[in-house]
Amino acid sequence: MKEKKQTSMRDISKITGVSISTISRYINSSGYVKPSTGEKIEAAINKTNYVPNRNVKSVFGYKSHNIGLIVPAFTNPFFSEFSTYIGNYIQEAGYGCILCFTGDDKNTEIRNWELLKGYRVDGVISARSLYPDVWSKLGIPTVSFESNHNEQEVNICVDNYNGGSLAFNYLNKIGSKRFVHVRGPESFKATNERFNGFYDSAKAIDKNIEIIKSEKDYSLGTDISDNIKAFKFKKGDGIFVFNDINAINIISYLIDLGFRVPEDISVIGFDNSYISELSIPKLTTIEQPVKEIALKCFSNLLELMEHKVVVKSEEVLPVKLIIRDSTR
Amino acid sequence: MKEKKQTSMRDISKITGVSISTISRYINSSGYVKPSTGEKIEAAINKTNYVPNRNVKSVFGYKSHNIGLIVPAFTNPFFSEFSTYIGNYIQEAGYGCILCFTGDDKNTEIRNWELLKGYRVDGVISARSLYPDVWSKLGIPTVSFESNHNEQEVNICVDNYNGGSLAFNYLNKIGSKRFVHVRGPESFKATNERFNGFYDSAKAIDKNIEIIKSEKDYSLGTDISDNIKAFKFKKGDGIFVFNDINAINIISYLIDLGFRVPEDISVIGFDNSYISELSIPKLTTIEQPVKEIALKCFSNLLELMEHKVVVKSEEVLPVKLIIRDSTR
DNA sequence: TTGTACGCGTTATCAT
DNA sequence: ATGATAACGCGTACAA
């Protein structure tokens, strides 16, 4: 199991005849080193392509300088964007990003946490955790996005309730005759909130809504669920779908059925991920401010890692209705 | 800089009164431990939530059990899909995945390599490297996707030349009156290959082609480049775009200009990423077999890491024309 | 069946 | 301005 050893400080020491402590001082600029000695060391480093072993620091109980990122998958473009932002913030701050996928599976998520703990990550950013209780046990600074809230940890989320409300009110305003909600998987915190916002706004003006349940976060390509196939869509329907990728799939399905979007049926998505601009018709949707979400997650994590007290344990970011061409 | 120490084997040893080596034997199942002793250890582990520090192993010159993944960004869905596959392979094999973004910037890429070397990763998978020479210097087993080929390393790529050829022949077959190629950024290995395939096929039957240069891999939303805006599109054009996301953007732009796709103008993309199924009209494209690419990369890396000789230093996977609705 | 002792790459402290 | 040494968490060879 032993691998070919890479160059170590000891090797540099042997080559230069300079002691290890001096090498360390030179590399970390943590003490006086005579210029000529420095040059010798520099030469040996270049010759051997020596790079300090970052893992040693975590052995000493220093920061390991890596951060874990736990997300469901990249098949949902929202998490691609989220992870691009987070990954870049981590990278720019000089940390390493250890990436883990849960596939929205609880056991996989638990294994991810153990892996990250084994790496002694300095912190974790976790999106849509199914197992938030693990945080307090593991004792790693953690910020989560859209997790079922655990009082002990910092959670970022968006105002899903208002999102549902905005969606209903807009569908009503443009004169939809029937209100349909394609509801997300039950395990997501956001599912009920979006539903409730939609439902309460309908009830407030004495309207009924129709519900279609969806079990999957994303259905790639033409993989339309049976629940949707079983539903009888009608001209005049206004449909609020729990995320963009499913909304676009459904538009595609409606067009195959012979409906026109938005002339016959209006569709609103959720996320405002980049695909909402690419689809034709362009998708009307509820924006989640990904970049701000990512920044909030990362900056809060930095504060937690520096043992600062983060004031709010739950922070709710606003959503916004983005009107495009899938509604009329 | 010292952090709150996490539980160590020493702590478990103090709690149980059992020596560190016995704890080690128990945890790694590497020697005899009396059942009753094992139970004591187990209890202490559960009480303290102890997880072994994985970083120590790399200090000893053992495998660090992490693998670096270097990609440009996730704003191009092809790399999202690629990374999801790679990330899952890595995770299932019990490794940690350290994710790095280059943003197609050479200096950023160099910093990534140094970071990964600092973490003593056991191997690296690198997509669209701009700096392949670094591999041999760093001495880390590496497999690259679509890198400018360096004889010393293993490179996976697709038959871009044939992709360009397939695109031309299809556009010709469906009766395009003019042949337009939206060419990718010059720094990508694939750019010339795709162009050459398209160009040579045109020349073979004495046809001319028009070229539009694009500087960016992806242009999100409505960010249409000046080169495209300056071009005078015409009814009867057949357009071959160097990737899906730009193809979809261009379709959207053409529709804004009043053209119908595919009735007036046909468009072919490249990648067959999931967005090609979501767009309306669905995108005709040249498929890169992402899953196979990812698997090839990962399995070749595993072999390299086990010091096996990988026979081919460059492996070319086939592409395929996927006919959908953006061509007629 | 268990313990002792050494080594790994690095940093901090103390001495020179 | 530089060197010697202890310490970190863990695996292994060897002793008991």
Q: Alpha-carbon torsion B239, B243, B249, B251, what sign?
A: positive
What's the CA gap between B311 and B316, in Å, rounded?
A: 13
Strand D within 7 Å of which CB atoms in A 190-249?
Answer: none
Q: Alpha-carbon torsion A189, A190, A191, A194, what sign?
A: positive
Angle between helices A20-28 and A35-48 (to 10 degrees): 90
Residue B11 has pLDDT above 90, yes or no: yes
The residue with greater pLDDT, B44 or A217, is B44
User: Cβ of A324 under 8 Å from any chain B Cβ?
Assistant: no
B9 in contact with nucleic chain D (CB within 7 A) = yes
The residue with greater pLDDT, A136 or A59, is A59
Nearest nucleotide relative to B25: CA against C1': D11
Closest residue, by C-alpha, to the C1' of D7: A60
**Would you list the DSSP string of A217-239?**
S---TT---HHHHHS---TTEEE
User: Cβ of B139 under 8 Å from any chain A Cβ?
Assistant: yes
The confidence band for B322, taking pLDDT boundaries of 50, 70 and 90, is: very high
Torsion region of A325: left, alpha or beta (phi above 0 gives left; psi -120 to 50 gives alpha) = alpha
Position A24 scores a pLDDT of 93
Using the beta-carbon criterion (under 8 Å), do A84 and B75 form an inter-chain contact?
A: yes
Name residue B320's beta-bridge partners. Answer: B287
Quote the distance between the C-alpha of residue A64 and its chain's center.
Answer: 22
Closest CA to A64 of B72, B64, B125, B242: B64
Residue A1 has pLDDT above 60, yes or no: no
Mean pLDDT of A220-246: 88
pLDDT per residue as tens digits for the range A52-76: 999 998 888 888 999 999 999 998 8
The confidence band for B210, taking pLDDT boundaries of 50, 70 and 90, is: very high
Position A150 scores a pLDDT of 66
Q: Is residue A237 a contact partner of residue A266, using CB atoms and an 8 Å limit?
A: yes
Using the beta-carbon criterion (under 8 Å), do A99 and B99 form an inter-chain contact?
A: yes
Q: b or e along A172-199 (b: 16 or more beta carbons within 10 Å of the residue's beta carbon)?
A: eeeebebbbbbbbeeebbbbbbbbebbb
What's the CA gap between B132 and B126, in Å, rounded?
A: 9
pLDDT per residue as tens digits for the range B155-206: 999 999 999 999 999 999 999 999 999 999 998 989 999 999 999 999 999 9
Position B154 scores a pLDDT of 87
Measure, in angstroms, how far nucleotide C11 C1' is from residue A97 CA.
24
What is the overall mean pLDDT for chain B? 91
Position A225 scores a pLDDT of 85
Name residue B169's beta-bridge partners. Answer: none
The confidence band for B212, taking pLDDT boundaries of 50, 70 and 90, is: very high
Mean pLDDT of A176-192: 95
User: Cβ of B51 under 8 Å from any chain A Cβ?
Assistant: yes
- Which bases of strand D have any atom within 7 Å of the beta carbon of a protein residue? 1-5, 7-13
Measure, in angstroms, how far nucleotide C4 C1' is from residue B41 CA.
20
Question: How many other β-carbons are positioned within 10 Å of the β-carbon of residue B281?
Answer: 21
pLDDT per residue as tens digits for the range A280-312: 889 999 999 999 999 999 999 999 888 766 666
Position A262 scores a pLDDT of 96
Kindly state the percentage of chain A with pLDDT values over 70.
93
> In terms of CA atoms, which chain B residue is nearest residue A92?
B108
Residue A111 has pLDDT above 60, yes or no: yes
Using the beta-carbon criterion (under 8 Å), do B97 and A96 form an inter-chain contact?
A: no
Using the beta-carbon criterion (under 8 Å), do A63 and B96 form an inter-chain contact?
A: no
Residue B72 has pLDDT above 70, yes or no: yes
Measure, in angstroms, how far nucleotide C16 C1' is from residue A22 CA.
14
Protein residues closer than 7 Å by CB to strand C: A 5, 8-10, 20-21, 24, 27-28, 30-31, 52-53, 56-57, 59-60, 62; B 1, 17-22, 25, 31-34, 36-37, 56, 59-61
User: Cβ of A118 under 8 Å from any chain B Cβ?
Assistant: yes
pLDDT per residue as tens digits for the range A15-27: 999 999 999 999 9
A22 in contact with nucleic chain D (CB within 7 A) = yes
Q: How many residues does chain B have?
A: 328
Q: Is residue A287 a contact partner of residue A323, using CB atoms and an 8 Å limit?
A: no
Q: Is residue B98 a contact partner of residue A96, using CB atoms and an 8 Å limit?
A: yes
Strand D within 7 Å of which CB atoms in B 10-49?
Answer: 10, 20-21, 24-25, 27-28, 30
pTM: 0.93
